[in-house]
Amino acid sequence: MIRKLGAVLGLKGILCLVSLTVVVVALVSYTASVTIAPAQQFTIGATTASWTVYINDVDEVRYLPGTGTPAGSQQPGAPSDANPDTFAFKVVTDAGRVCAVKIELTAAVDNTKFSKFQITVKRWNATASAWEDETLYTAATGSTTKSYIDGLTASPTDSGYVHHAASLTRYYLIKVTYSYDLVDTITSITVTFQYTPLPQESF
C-alpha cells in the first residue's frame, strides 16, 4: 500500500503530506497554574496530663489540661501559644469556613470502676479573663445540643461537637465530672481523648 502511494504521489508528494500532518498536529495550547494554600484551623494543646482521683470520689472534677492539688483539679490560667499545656486545643477560622470539632474517647472508660464520666468543654473568654462553658452539639451541623459526652458509653463511644464560628480564634479546655466509687482498685488508668476538626460551609 505504501509503495503504491509512493508511486502515485512521488517523493515530493509524500513530503508534502508529511508536512501537512505536522501542521495539523502542532496546535496552539494554553496552560494555567494554581497555587494551593492549605489552611490549618485546629491546633492541639496538651497531649499528656496526670490526674489524681480517690476511691469513693463522687461528682469530682478534673481538667485537661489541669493544675492544682489534687493533680488536674484546677483550671489553668490564661492560655498561651508558647505553652501548649495551658489549653486542650485551639481553633482559628477565616471567613471561608466555620469549623466543627468532634470530641470523643478512643475507648470507653471502665464502667466497673467509674459510675460517672461526663465530658464537657470550656472556652477562654479573653474579655473576662476566665474559662466559661461551651455549648456541645450532637452533630457537626444542626442546632441540637447535648449536656455532656458520656465517657462510659461504648460500641460506639459517645461524642459531641463544638461549633466554632468563622473569623474567630478561641482556646478550649476539657472538663470531666466523674465518680470513682465502684471498686478500691488503685491501678493506673489511661484515658485518651480524640479531636477531629471538620471544616463546614455553615452549621
pLDDT at residue 25, as a whole number: 64
Q: What is the pLDDT of residues 37-53, one digit of tens each?
A: 999 999 999 999 999 99
Q: Are 195 and 145 in contact (CB under 8 A)?
A: no
Is residue 156 in some structural domain?
yes
Is residue 16 in some structural domain?
no
Is residue 23 in some structural domain?
no
Is residue 167 in some structural domain?
yes
Where in the sequence is the domain holding 69, given as residue range(s)? 44-200
Residue 74 pLDDT class (50, 70, 90 cuts) = very high
Is residue 32 in some structural domain?
no
Q: Are 161 and 143 in contact (CB under 8 A)?
A: no
Q: Which residue has the higher pLDDT, 101 or 16?
A: 101
Average pLDDT over residues 162-190: 97
Is residue 73 in some structural domain?
yes
- Number of domains observed in the structure of the chain: 1
Residue reference for cell 476539657: 174
pLDDT at residue 26, as a whole number: 85
Q: What is the pLDDT of residues 110-151, one digit of tens each?
A: 999 999 999 999 999 999 999 999 999 999 999 999 999 999
> Peptide bond preceding 79: is omega within 30 degrees of 0, i.e. cis?
no
Which phi and psi angles does 18 have, rounded to 5°? -65, -45
**Alpha-carbon dihedral angle through residues 138, 114, 68, 107, given to the nearest 10 degrees:** -50
Is residue 126 in some structural domain?
yes
Is residue 57 in some structural domain?
yes
Q: What is the pLDDT of residues 79-119, one digit of tens each?
A: 999 999 999 999 999 999 999 999 999 999 999 999 999 99
